[in-house]
Structure 1
Amino acid sequence: MAANPEKATVSAERRRSPIEIAWAWLVEGLAAVGTVMICILMGIICADIVARNAMGSSLPLISELGALLLVMIVALQFAATVRADRLARTEIFFVTFRDRYPRGGAFLSALFNLVGALMIGGIAWATVHILQKDLDSGEFIGVPGIATLPVWPFRVFILIGMTITALEFARQMVADLWRLVSGRAAA
């Protein structure tokens, strides 16, 4: 009798809880929003190039908007980068060490993720204060009377991205600690 490949996949891969699925959707959804923002950034840069060539001057808001969008894009896509284990680190040492000493590798990975959670959490905490200042002062970019935009919506997205990234680092740290305690090799 032939084995059911679908059943084998489910048994080979542990079932994910609804919370894990929702978390994955949130992280990947923020990354998708970041990708849309990349398209918008490319569009405004192209429009600025056309304006410079056609009118001899830049469009208002473009440099400030581009800078805010760039930081926002990084913040929105950062958690997906952490989730996919695509951060730059010394892979020459770490991969070999983790393969040879799975528990030691889990410990080092947990330590790395703890530091990441603390550092990015600190950035998120600082962003809260910057956001409050922007809201209180009515901070904006652009030239009054020509074109202006409030800064706070960008700061909100940066805060969301950094907060989710810090939580993703913490989630990965817990998974590493579970591997360390259980003695399971890193997945």
Structure 2
Amino acid sequence: MADGGLIGLYPGTFDPITNGHLDIIGRAAQLCSKLVIGVARNAGKGPLFPTAERVEMVRAEIAPIAERTGTEIDVQAFDSLLIAFAQQVSAQVIVRGLRAVSDFDYEFQMAGMNARLDQRIETIFLMASERHQFISSRFVKEIAQLGGDISSFVPKLTLERTLRRVGRP
């Protein structure tokens, strides 16, 4: 855990939360004294889970990380401009995970825009661990809907809820 009370914000849709997200959260929690997980409402993406359920799933899945790291981790839904939400929660850094070079282009542009909107808030990038680099919520949903095995991509609670949501036992 970082000295000095660093407050981080890790935003995402988390539809559903994956093992890749949990990896980034665990590593970010080691850098921050407080980490806010911002669950974006983002109706434009056509979420599988309603916002309240995504918040609930994230809270359940991150509890062991908070306990293990001793970091205060708060989960909140938001539907505002990311930088406005970062200001609202007093974040000093926005944490973003990178899986591949293709993520970098988008994230680089977003970090630049956020810096122009508020230069006091830094963006830090954490590379996905090798075993999680290919995982995305979009692929997890698609695989689940088409009958594939997603058990190695998501934690147990999320697995059960995702399978129920797509009409699988």
**TM-score bin, normalised by smaller chain:** under 0.3
Tell me the TM-score normalized by structure 1.
0.24
Higher relative helix content: 1
Tell me the TM-score normalized by structure 2.
0.26
Higher relative strand content: 2
Question: Between Structure 1 and Structure 2, whose CA radius of gyration is higher?
Answer: 1
